[in-house]
């Protein structure tokens, strides 16, 4: 990744982007098409939910890391309390992230959730409780990822600001010190 390459010209990680979109699109496509062609609810359920779960895993563990440099997870500490951990790359790397990659990442994340909501509304209108179950599961997974990454991004921004203010503070103090020592 040279800094000379104008950002936004190409995807920096085409393979990852592909997988990021593949499972989401696969789950949605399978769900929509299968309602027309396949009569067996069990297969629809299992395949859709499996694709959704795989998509969740891929986004959380692979494309989140590689496309936007963020990671989130939950741990239980020694006191038995649940702690949400967020991780982000440092400033230089974040700045060097390909814009197109991160645009794709966030947009597909949100669009997929919206698509599931729309499909859910259709199911609701048709009063199909079992399809609502499928949609419920897929929606839960999408929303979990959205919330996780949004929190992670906010945390990253907070880190930047804290870092900057710490930088000023310490720089300010050392300026004063050196000024005083000169005098």
Partner 1 sequence: MSDNDTIPLHPSSQSDIDEIENLIHASVQSGPATVFPARPPSPPRASIPVSSSPFMPSNIPPHPPSTTQKPQAVPVPPPLPASSGNGRANMAASGFGSPPNTLTEPVLDTVKRDLSRIVSNLKLVVFPNPFREDPGKALRDWDLWGPFFFIVFLGLILSWSASVKKSEVFAVAFALLAAGAVILTLNVLLLGGHIIFFQSLSLLGYCLFPLDVGALICMLKDNVIVKVVVVCVTLAWSSWAAYPFMSSAVNPRRKALALYPVFLMYVSVGFLIIAID
Binding to partner 1 in span 1-30, by CB under 8 A: 1, 3, 7, 12-13, 15-16
Q: Considering the rule CB under 8 A, would residue 123 count as an interface residue with partner 1?
A: no
Other CB atoms within a 10 A radius of the CB of residue 64 amount to 23
Backbone angles phi, psi at 10, to 5 degrees: -135, 160
Report the nearest approach of partner 1 to the CB of residue 7 (Å): 7
Q: Which run of H or of E encompasses 167?
A: helix 129-182
Nearest to partner 1 of 24, 98 (CB atom): 98
72 by DSSP, 3-state: which? strand
Report the nearest approach of partner 1 to the CB of residue 117 (Å): 20
**What is d(CA 37, CA 52) in angstroms, rounded to the nearest whole number?**
20
**Which one among 11, 22, 96, 120 touches partner 1, defined by CB under 8 A?**
96
Length of the chain, in residues: 183
Q: Which residues pair with 74 in a beta bridge?
A: 84
Nearest to partner 1 of 29, 43 (CB atom): 43
Q: Considering the rule CB under 8 A, would residue 98 count as an interface residue with partner 1?
A: yes
Tell me the DSSP string of 28-49: HHHHHHHHHH---HHHHHHHHH
**What is d(CA 86, CA 151) in angstroms, rounded to the nearest whole number?**
8
**Which one among 22, 71, 111, 120 touches partner 1, defined by CB under 8 A?**
71
- Quote the tokens at residue 127: 């009063």
Q: Considering the rule CB under 8 A, would residue 68 count as an interface residue with partner 1?
A: yes
**Which one among 25, 35, 89, 143 touches partner 1, defined by CB under 8 A?**
89
Which residues of the chain form contacts with partner 1 (CB under 8 A)? 1, 3, 7, 12-13, 15-16, 40-42, 45-46, 49-50, 53, 57, 61-62, 65-66, 68-71, 74-77, 80-99, 102, 130, 133, 151, 153, 155-157, 159-161, 163-168, 170-171, 174-175, 178
């Amino acid at each position: 990744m040279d800094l000379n390459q104008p950002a936004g010209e190409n995807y920096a990680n085409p393979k990852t982007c592909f997988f990021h979109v593949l499972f989401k699109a696969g789950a949605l496509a399978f769900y929509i098409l299968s309602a027309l062609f396949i009569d067996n609810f069990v297969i629809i359920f299992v395949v859709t939910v499996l694709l959704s779960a795989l998509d969740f895993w891929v986004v959380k563990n692979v494309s989140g890391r590689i496309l936007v440099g963020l990671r989130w997870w939950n741990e239980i500490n020694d006191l038995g309390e649940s702690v949400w951990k967020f991780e982000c790359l440092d400033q230089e790397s974040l700045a060097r992230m390909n814009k197109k990659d991160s645009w794709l990442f966030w947009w597909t994340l949100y669009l997929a959730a919206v698509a599931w909501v729309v499909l859910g509304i259709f199911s609701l209108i048709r009063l199909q409780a079992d399809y609502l179950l499928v949609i419920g599961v897929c929606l839960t997974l999408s929303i979990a990822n959205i919330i996780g990454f949004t929190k992670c991004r906010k945390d990253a921004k907070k880190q930047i600001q804290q870092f900057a203010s710490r930088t000023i503070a310490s720089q300010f103090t050392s300026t004063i010190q050196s000024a005083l020592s000169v005098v």
